[in-house]
Structure 1
Amino acid sequence: MFATRVILIAIGLAAGLAIATPASARDSTSGGDAMAQRLEACTACHAEEGIRLEDGYVPRIHGKPAGYLYNQLVNYQTLRRRNATMNHLVSHLSRDYLYEIARHFAERHPPYPAAAERPGRALAERGEQLVREGDPQAEVPACASCHGERLTGVQPNTPGLVGLPRQYIMAQLGAWQVGTRHAAAPDCMAEITARLDGRDVEAVAAWLAARPVPDNTEPADAPVAEPPMDCGSVPAPDDNA
């Protein structure tokens, strides 16, 4: 019931989202945030912390790097990612406006939900190994080498991994494994997940979901070291200036 209501709200507000343009998105003379009003279709579904549903999870988008959010919107527009509601909402929006949306949510940092319970010892140890050190024998780099030492993401295009539910992380890693989620080439996550077995996916998801949220949840300005592999992304409109 709740999921249906949220989807109907989003579809009902889609017209207001679709007709907006970067020039009209913010009205500094009105004293209010016109952009926030136009994006009620987004906040109705995603809320501030994400929304847990009986059969899934609508992820948190607040505070993630603008470049990452922009890439996901483009991925939905180009059908590299498939979700009927998202594909519909962004289908006719300009790239400039998609970037306006991304910047709007990137600038907002509400509190995170509480972490999940710590998994059993064996699962936790394997999860921490993969996140912190990777598995050189399997050619799996550490999650932290790209997503940041605090796992809060890295500017401009890498998302944070803290505050996400276990089942959602498993679902996204699984989507890359079976080819239902894609990113711009080179799709490094597709390469990495192909080297993980089901137990590894579970271990990473369980450990990340139980990770306490750090005091500083801002994405890092740069990775701690040179990323271990190239990952594709769609240049933001500002990058083309």
Structure 2
Amino acid sequence: MAYNISLRHGLSSLSFAIGAVVLVAPAMADIVSDGQTIATSGVKGVVACATCHGAKGEGMAAAGFPYLAGQGAAYLMLQLQGFANGTRHNPIMEPIAKALSPVQIAAVTAYFSQLPKILDAKALSAQAPTYPDKDAMGAWVANRGDWDNNIPACAQCHGPGGIGIGQNFPALAGLPATYIREQLNAWQQEKRAPGPLSLMGDIASRMSEAQITAVADYFSGLPEAVKSAAPASAPASQGAQ
């Protein structure tokens, strides 16, 4: 008898769980669909994200616009919230983020996060040097750090080959060098929120300008980073989004 009651309870719980999944799946599909509309067509007062970040979220490296495809939703949401509340600055992104509602921000970040990554993560990870030439400053700092100045390796949080880790540590491989450099300078100058655990503000403050340039060039130049070529045409000098 007790077994039958337990079985009925278990089946009831399972049915509830299945029902919850069935209800949540369409809701998430709707959110992603709304995000796709914002990304590809824009909404009132907001230009389509694809205008600068590409039809597939691949970015426009020549103009300094980063790729968004496959980056963590939590990271992307934090950036849009930062543009909206003034803790991150960019003349293009600030008015766009302020015009989006919290629901729209959640939708568009969910959309970009579920797009296929443009990184060959397996190749990047496999080819990341364990002990690079110390004279190659960018590769050395990215993979080994500069512990004499308390600078950890970028790979510790951003993964081997800059492939990104989890929701909060974005991929760096293949991002425009100008974009990476501008962000590190912004953290140095306290013009961008330091992020989770205040890590980036602290790390960037210890980096020399030569290290910043070298690391930016290293990650942007990783050969296996981008699967598909990004469009070359876009308004010049308006990146850093």
What is the TM-score of this pair, normalised by structure 1? 0.66
Report which of the two has the higher share of helix.
Answer: 2
Q: Which has the larger radius of gyration?
A: 2
Q: Does 1:190 align with 2:201?
A: yes
Q: Does 1:157 align with 2:168?
A: yes
Equivalent pairs, count? 182
- From 49, 52, 67, the counterpart of 1:45: 52
Q: How many angstroms does 1:196 deviate by?
A: 0.7
CA distance in 1, matches of 2:144, 2:153: 5
Residues 184 and 35 from structure 1, CA distance in 2 versus in 1: closer, same or farther, beyond 3 angstroms? closer
Q: Secondary structure at the match of 2:206?
A: coil
What is the TM-score of this pair, normalised by structure 2? 0.66
Matches within 5 A, 1:1-241: 26=30, 33-40=33-40, 41-47=48-54, 48-52=57-61, 56-109=63-116, 111=118, 125-184=136-195, 186-213=197-224
- The code of the aligned residue for 2:89 comes to R
For each residue in 1:32-91, what CA deviation from the matched residue of structure 2 results, as whole angstroms up to 9, or x when unmatched? x454223221111211321245xx512111111111111111111111111233222221
- Following TM superposition, the consecutive aligned residue runs of length 4 or more in structure 1 with deviations greater than 6 angstroms are 121-124
* Unpaired segments ≥5 residues, structure 2: 1-26, 41-47, 121-131, 228-241
CA distance in 1, matches of 2:180, 2:211: 12
Q: CA RMSD in A?
A: 3.1
Residues 92 and 49 from structure 1, CA distance in 2 versus in 1: closer, same or farther, beyond 3 angstroms? closer
Identity of aligned residues (%): 29
CA distance in 2, matches of 1:49, 1:212: 16
CA distance in 1, matches of 2:65, 2:225: 22
Match of 1:233 in 2: none
* Unpaired segments ≥5 residues, structure 1: 1-22, 114-120, 217-241
Q: How many angstroms does 1:190 deviate by?
A: 0.9
